[in-house]
Chain A
Amino acid sequence: MTSTAPMTSTTPKTPMTTLASATPAARVAAPPARFRDLLASEWIKMRSLRSTPWAIALTVLFVIGSAAVATLTDKAAGSGPGPGPAEFLPYDACPAAGYWTLMLVASSMGALTVVSEYSSGLIRTTTAAVPARGSVVLAKAAVTAALWTAVGTVASTGSFLVSQAVLNGHHAGVPITHPGVLRVLVASALLAPVCALVGLGLGVLLRHAAATMVTGVFTLLMLPTMFSESNRWSADVKHALVSAAWNRLVQTWEPDPGSLGYTATITGSWIVYALWPLITVALAVLVVRRRDV
């Protein structure tokens, strides 16, 4: 222990000064409890972890990279039968591999913002400092939503630009103003905060890292694969899930009228996007106020 010696040697000098300045007369009246202080506090917590920027940078690179790969291989596949090229091409910027990874990372990191506090016990320090527990959850949710919206926007815009750059090389690109493209970009950008908030809500509800990760992956990624669109009730369940909603929103062509499957509506898919984070975070706020920390 090299640091203890200088540490203790400095203490005797200071004692009476620092706290003396904090005698009753010098104490300032407590400022009102402001929500933006909680936001700033959560932001300090978020950016003071080295793992955050690394995980985000790697994920964004992976999403963009997978879009590039998907576009290159799609071009290689040639002009087979299927939807018209101009309709299908924006879809190249939305490969499942990249976005499923984004969902996985966003939900895990959203969960970690709370689960790491529960596992270390930091949540008790936090709660003793801010007894308004619901506000803490909301502040975490707001900061998480803002961060992952930014990340999602960079990832989706980057994917689109890279993908179109590849296609442009073959004079097959579509401009960002092409009908439907904006929806693809917005839906892909918002996928990250939606998943991060669902992860955060689940994290508060479950508190344990492994349980939260498994539940998050299961509901966001595995569950949709269990349900097909060939049958009404099964399609209804599937369409109520986040990844199916994203799939529908990035699909710029209309379903084939002769198709036997059921297709989700665009409006319904946006509602699914809104409800998942709203419900999980609302449940988290309710539960955290009633439960022992």
Chain B
Amino acid sequence: MGAVIEVNELTKRYGGKTAVDHLSFTVRPGQVTGFLGPNGAGKSTTLRMILGLDAPTTGAATVGGVPFHRHPRGLRHVGALLDAGQVHGGRSAAAHLSALARSNGIPRRRVGEVLQEVGLAEAANRRIGGFSLGMKQRLGIASALLGDPPVLMFDEPINGMDPEGVLWVRRLFRRLAAEGRTVFLSSHLMSEMENTADQLVVIGRGRLIAAEPLRDFAARGTRRSVVVGTPQAAELAAVLTAAGASVEPEGSAGAERLAVTGLPAGRIGALAHENGIRLDELTTRTASLEAAFMELTADSTEYVAGQPR
């Protein structure tokens, strides 16, 4: 079980605009792989090309070694939630799933099973038009699970979910990966990945920025620094610089703080003590995923508020 998603030199141009630019990466089974990028980075276009909905301008995408569109029926190979709104509001959840299941020769009982699985059993016969976005996301996840596929792809699945729903969906993704499935999950929010993904594929402006384990990616971000608060900022700065650290003033006048890199917190405390300098604060600032993400994608953000380009 499990199938690899292989994206090879994938390019999609719309007129003069390049949405996806020579993108190559591999998504492996048994892990949750996060697909990250700012809005407009080309994530959804890439997912559509993997699903064969859009034809690449050049390059290719395969799932389990086969271009997905070669399968006459898809649900048993890849389950996908592209956009929770891609349903007909006039149908009930059960009718929507029944039609999908039937088209793929999936037994009817699976409809009840997946509705139960996503917690929509009681809403099965209600019109989808009356669903909240969170419920539609659950319905989309149910349709992805229908065919019990080895590969699952979700585009921004957490949008509109309440905190409980977010916890539930994270557990679900972890479990699906633990069952040996390939789980590929897109988001524009780094924080969504922090507790979910093992691997990351980060893109910006259609180009690959990083494809590596989440831990490595986080380490690339802001270097470990220590924030020190002291009324004797100038003295301390001199002492720390002499000890080989680099010091940057932070904060405002009267509440001055120093961002110190190159020395651990303990050593800074000891130096301050030896020199009779009073410390009000001594905090180690750990590398943040969000910061790493912002740093790496800063140049590749498609839409930046207040900055016409």
Contact = CB atoms under 8 A, between A and B. Distances in A.
Given A11-B168, A131-B70, A31 B105 contact: yes
Contact of B90 (A19, A34, A51): A51
Contacts, number: 163
Contact of B82 (A32, A49, A125): A125
A292 B55 contact: yes
A44 B135 contact: no
A292 B55 CA distance: 6
Q: Interface size class for chain B?
A: 35 or more
B119 interface: yes
Nearest to B165: A8
A33 B70 CA distance: 12
Contact of A37 (B92, B95, B103, B113): B103
Contacts of A128: 51, 53, 74, 78, 80, 82
Interface stretch (B169-177, B190-198, B279-287): B169-177
A3 B135 contact: yes
A129 B135 contact: no
Nearest to A31: B105
A139 to B, nearest CB: 8
A293 interface: yes
A18 B119 CA distance: 12
B95 A292 contact: no
Nearest to A139: B103
A231 interface: no
A293 B120 contact: no
A145 B98 CA distance: 22
Nearest to A37: B105
Contacts of B54: 292-293
Contacts of B76: 30
Contacts of A19: 117, 145, 148, 175-176, 179
18 contacts: A7-B119, A7-B122, A8-B168, A12-B168, A15-B175, A19-B176, A27-B148, A34-B105, A37-B102, A40-B102, A44-B99, A48-B95, A50-B90, A121-B82, A129-B104, A130-B73, A131-B72, A292-B54
